[in-house]
Chain A
Amino acid sequence: MSATNGKSITLSSKLQDIDFGTKASVPGWLRQLRCEGRERFNQMGIPSVKDEEWKYTNVTPLAERQFHFPMEFALKEKALLKHYLNPQETNIVLVNGVYSEEFSNVKNLVKGLTVTNLTVQADNAQLKKLINLFPSTYPDVFAALNNALLQEGIFIQIDDATVVQKVIHVVHVANPTNHDTIIVPRTLISIGKSAQVDILESHVGFSSGAYFANALTDILIKENAAAHYCKAQAESKGAYHIGSTRIWQKRDSNLETFSLTVGGTLTRNNLNIILEEPGTTTFLHGLYTMKEEQHVDNHTCVEHRAPNCTSNQLYKGILDQHSRAVFNGKIIVSREAQQTNSYQLNKNLMLGSDCRIDTKPQLEIFADDVKCTHGATIGQLNEDEIFYLKSRNIPQDLAVRILARGFVDDILNRLPNQSICEKLNQLLSSAIDVLK
């Protein structure tokens, strides 16, 4: 049983000091974080479409709903989850926001890798650094909400020069028993100097009802480290998913991100990357497959704060029926960030005649010696290609799926880790297999 059992909140009103239980074990920093988050949230409030950052994604329907905290933390759909987990990997599973001993395997971790539950984490210098990387004043109201409501979370620490061979798979499972549940997944990752790691963070839902997942992940990548960070969003059909991933890159570090969205009714993925020191390389890949009334909004923001950094982003999407996608790619190149290379491309395939795409590059360049390009395309399937496939026995619906699959195949092939690639492929295939 949780102390928040039976409690609920409405986001349109000011958040009160929620009694999360007065267990003595709750560390002081966490109380402070909640308090700052609450104040920040109350100051900002739920944005409307008049807010430029939320122009194409209306979250006001969320504001009036009454959200309950999860009541149960046992998983009913065990087989589904087991099918999704690879026992060879380091699995960290949270069910309805609470760490699950049953499904996680964090024993016998490689030396230099530690995984802890935030609630039991005493004061830790690394953690403190991470928490304060993006201060509570950072303008992200849903990150503030996550802080305000934070109960459990995962802290992954990779020491300097540690090479983590096995994929770290953090899985947030939503399986709420009551309607309009709010879940606040929180992950903090610190990657040491010259360390190397592959991380997949999955959000999966096994629920037929509506729920709200308000996720936040903060990552610090130190000097010369190399990280692959993938986010897979396969929430339930009725789910709202608003998540922010904030990454801080130090000198000469390498990062490849991949974001796959196939689930949920409304999704907002914020991806903020700050290139604080020179010599960093960053790849941002994204893929979304939407159908019916689904809505996905990918907001990326890459901040070049130092010279000689490269960022390269490619987001691709498939839209069917009445679905909607938003891509907003902001690139900020500060005055100091000379010799910046920054590329951005968003490509969309529209299968339905009633889908809508709003794609917007947003470049703010203050340095004078930079190379920045951006582009966006929206296209439909080629009739000649469809006829060619049909003349080879392949019926219309399968032809559409094969071509849709072909449209996104190149981006999936860029995933450096085979095991992650297979998993994302599995999710993507089930999304593509229902296209017509």
Chain B
Amino acid sequence: MLEIKDLHVQVNGVPILNGLHLTVNPGEVHAIMGPNGSGKSTLAKVIAGHPEYEVTKGTIEYEVNFKKINLLEMEPDERAKEGVFLAFQYPVEIPGVNTAVFLRAAFNELCRHQGAEEMDPIEFDEFLRSKLTLLNMEEKVINRPVNVDFSGGEKKRNEILQMAVLNPRLAVLDETDSGLDIDALRIVAEGVNKLKRKDNAVILITHYQRILNYIVPDFVHILSNGRIVRSSGKELALEVEERGYDWL
């Protein structure tokens, strides 16, 4: 579904990723771990299409309807509409924009793209409530401006709520677990697990092994200095937890 080859990326002229390879198939969960500054978040932002990240070499191919398309040529909203979703490490606060209104706009853009009928506010409200229950979230959240005055945990949960609403094919979760207490972590992980299907995939970027107790990865990759230096099964995460990154 996703094939990253020899990816080189720089930000403001500083190279961050230096020849990264990654292949993700439908149904898989890939955990990407690594020390601070290894390029984890850069990878997430590049997949989503952040304009500040400049790809100097390499390709990202993404499969849509059995056809490979070049992700790097697409605008962020076009990627999103093809099912690429980024759960932000630091979700952005948007004052004055109501969460429910924002989510309906996002959802209806998707409907239009897929040629499906758009939902009116009443229909969408019902749909949204069912997703709130899934994440154990309070209703009042959706009537507040997007992420404004949300606690850290609420912001992260709001990202997964958006994932539940938009039902992506490829979800990139950028340190969604950081800063969550154990209860919030469990709820978020359960939410992600419930959204898991045979035909979608998850790239789970994390600093800590803890979340992998709840979302079990098929592969664990260690990122260091902008390259994947080791890939293995879920046991690799435990090793990292025990020994740190220095031995790699």
- Taking Cβ atoms with an 8 Å cutoff, the residues of A that contact B are 382-385, 387-396, 398-399, 402-403, 405-410
Contacts and interface: CB of A to CB of B under 8 A. Distances in A.
B182 interface: no
Contacts of B49: 390-391
B97 A402 contact: yes
B102 interface: yes
9 contacts: A383-B51, A387-B48, A387-B50, A388-B91, A389-B94, A391-B76, A392-B80, A405-B97, A410-B95
Interface stretch (B65-73, B106-114, B207-215, B238-246): B106-114
B18 interface: no
Contacts of B75: 390, 395-396
B124 interface: no
Given A385-B94, A392-B166, A408-B96, A402 B80 contact: no
Contacts, number: 78
Interface in B59-100: 75-77, 79-81, 85-86, 88, 91-92, 94-97
A387 B75 CA distance: 10
B152 interface: no
A398 B110 CA distance: 14
A409 B94 CA distance: 12
B102 A393 contact: no
A394 B96 contact: no
Given A390-B80, A392-B162, 9 more contacts: A389-B102, A391-B49, A391-B80, A393-B109, A394-B109, A395-B77, A403-B94, A406-B95, A406-B97
Interface residues of B, number: 30
Interface of B: 48-52, 75-77, 79-81, 85-86, 88, 91-92, 94-97, 102, 105-107, 109-110, 113, 145, 162, 166
Interface SS majority for chain A? helix
A402 B102 contact: yes
B76 A390 contact: yes
Interface centre among B85, B96, B145 (most CB of A within 10 A): B96
Contact of B92 (A388, A395, A408): A388
Contacts of B107: 393
Contacts of B166: 392-393
Contacts of B162: 392
A423 to B, nearest CB: 20
B94 A388 contact: yes
A391 B86 contact: yes
A403 B95 CA distance: 8
A194 to B, nearest CB: 36
B120 to A, nearest CB: 17
A406 B94 contact: yes
B102 A391 contact: no
A407 B96 contact: yes
Contacts of A408: 96
Interface centre among B52, B75, B79, B80 (most CB of A within 10 A): B80
Nearest to A387: B50
Given A393-B110, A405-B96, A387 B105 contact: no
Closest 9 CB pairs of A and B: A406-B96, A393-B109, A390-B76, A406-B97, A388-B92, A409-B96, A392-B106, A390-B77, A393-B80
A398 B109 CA distance: 10
B48 A391 contact: yes
A398 B108 CA distance: 12
Contacts of B52: 383
Contacts of A388: 88, 91-92, 94
A384 B80 contact: no
A238 to B, nearest CB: 32
Contacts of B145: 406
A389 B162 CA distance: 12
Contacts of A396: 75, 77
Given A383-B51, A387-B50, A394 B106 contact: yes
Contacts of A390: 49, 75-77, 80
A402 B103 CA distance: 12
A382 B97 CA distance: 14
A389 B102 CA distance: 8
Contacts of B94: 385, 388-389, 403, 406
Nearest to B86: A391
A408 B95 CA distance: 10
A389 B75 CA distance: 12
B124 to A, nearest CB: 14
Contacts of B50: 387
Contacts of A392: 77, 80, 102, 106, 162, 166
A398 to B, nearest CB: 7
Contacts of B106: 389, 392-394
Contacts of B81: 393
B51 to A, nearest CB: 7
Contacts of A395: 75, 77, 109
A393 B107 CA distance: 8
Nearest to B80: A393
Interface centre among A385, A391, A403 (most CB of B within 10 A): A391
A228 to B, nearest CB: 22
A285 B211 CA distance: 49
